[in-house]
Amino acid sequence: MAGGQELVVVGVDGSAASVAALAWAARYGSAAGARVQALLAWHYPGPIEKAPDSIFEQTNAQMQTTLDEAVAKAVPGQTSNVETSIGYGHPAQVLIDASNEADLLVVGSHGHGAWTGMLVGSVSIHCVTGAHCPVVVVRSHDHDHH
């Protein structure tokens, strides 16, 4: 823990469930005096290990926009309280790796797998079984992604 401060990592994919998870984590962070880091992971489906640099940078920029928009929705007017980070790789693995440093990992109960090629519900399950720290799965009341 940096400076004895708790680190809460939140998996974000832009879905309503992930925005709800981020909002929960931000409330927890402010109550507990913890750092909150919103982490968005993406990868190219299929056999490509890594895309050409130009495509990689362009997609990374789009993902940063998605992440920034999710933070703005989750904590309107308080975005400076949330750090953002982009990870490249399978979302579950990126989040599990991040859990090595985190004190708490927060994920939404389901999301959309438009660019991960999978349902984020299974990412939640992987995180719960594989993480190196406690995991909170936040259920969203917004069911627009079912």
Q: Which residue has the higher pLDDT, 4 or 72?
A: 72
Alpha carbon separation from 59 to 6, 12, 56, 89 (Å, rounded):
31, 16, 5, 13
Question: What is the model's pTM?
Answer: 0.85
Q: Is the pLDDT of residue 109 over 90?
A: no
Q: How many CB atoms lie within 10 A of CB 19?
A: 26
d(CA 75, CA 24): 10
Q: Which residue has the higher pLDDT, 113 or 126?
A: 126
Helices 53-74 and 16-32 cross at an angle (nearest 10°) of 60
Q: In what order do the strands lie in the sheet with 82-88?
A: 82-88, 35-42, 7-11, 104-108, 135-138
Q: Is the pLDDT of residue 8 over 90?
A: yes
Q: Is the pLDDT of residue 127 over 80?
A: yes
d(CA 18, CA 128): 16
Q: Is the pLDDT of residue 72 over 50?
A: yes
Q: What is the CATH superfamily name and number for domain 2-138?
A: HUPs (3.40.50.620)
Q: Is the pLDDT of residue 46 over 80?
A: no
d(CA 19, CA 22): 5
- Across all residues in the chain, what is the average pLDDT? 86
Q: Is the pLDDT of residue 31 over 80?
A: yes
**CB–CB of 73/21 below 8 Å?**
no
Nearest of 72, 141, 70, 139 to residue 106 by alpha carbon: 139
Block residue for tokens 């995180």 = 127
d(CA 137, CA 108): 6
Domain ranges of the chain: 2-138
**CB–CB of 3/76 below 8 Å?**
no
Q: Is the pLDDT of residue 118 over 50?
A: no
